[in-house]
Amino acid sequence: MSRLFERVSGRVAAAAGRPWAFVLAFAIILLWGVSGPVFGWSDTWQLVINTGTTIVTFLMVFLIQNAQNRDASAIQAKLDELIRASQEARNEFIGVEHLSEAELLRLLQVIEAVAGDESKRHQAIERLISRR
């Protein structure tokens, strides 16, 4: 069941990001709008589009979240491998994504303190950006 969901969600998320998916959605909305006079702008006519868009939105949330979770896990695995492969990197950073939010914020503060003067870091970043 899990593999089937991953395959389906991957395909649907990829398809939903294509231009033709936008054109199809736009065409459906356009057809719905044009059909308003035919149905006398009735409550049922409005309910059809409201229900349809609600269902699609509800389902897409889960599909997109699944795709983002997989992407985040893949990126994290790649970063962990870069840390592991680098002689100068600290292996203690592997797995920090499992820390609580408070622990991550504290770790960030410690890393920034070790990095030195904040104004000098910002100046260095500004110089780097200005080179482009």
For residues 92 and 111, membership in a common domain is answered with no
Domain count, the chain: 2
Tokens of 40: 């006398």
In order of 3, 34, 117, the CA distances from 56 in angstroms are 22, 21, 49
CA distance 132 to 128: 7
**Secondary structure class of 87 (helix, strand, coil):** coil
Percentage of the chain exceeding pLDDT 70: 100
List pLDDT tens digits, range 8-59.
Answer: 888 888 899 899 999 999 999 999 999 999 999 999 999 999 999 999 999 9
CB 13: neighbour CB atoms within 10 A?
A: 18
For residues 130 and 72, membership in a common domain is answered with no
Look up the domain containing 45 and give its range: 2-97
Residue 119: band (very low, low, confident or very high) from pLDDT cuts 50, 70, 90: confident
CA distance 68 to 16: 14
CA 93 to chain centre: 23
For residues 41 and 104, membership in a common domain is answered with no
For residues 59 and 8, membership in a common domain is answered with yes
Residue 123: band (very low, low, confident or very high) from pLDDT cuts 50, 70, 90: confident
For residues 29 and 69, membership in a common domain is answered with yes
CA distance 82 to 76: 10
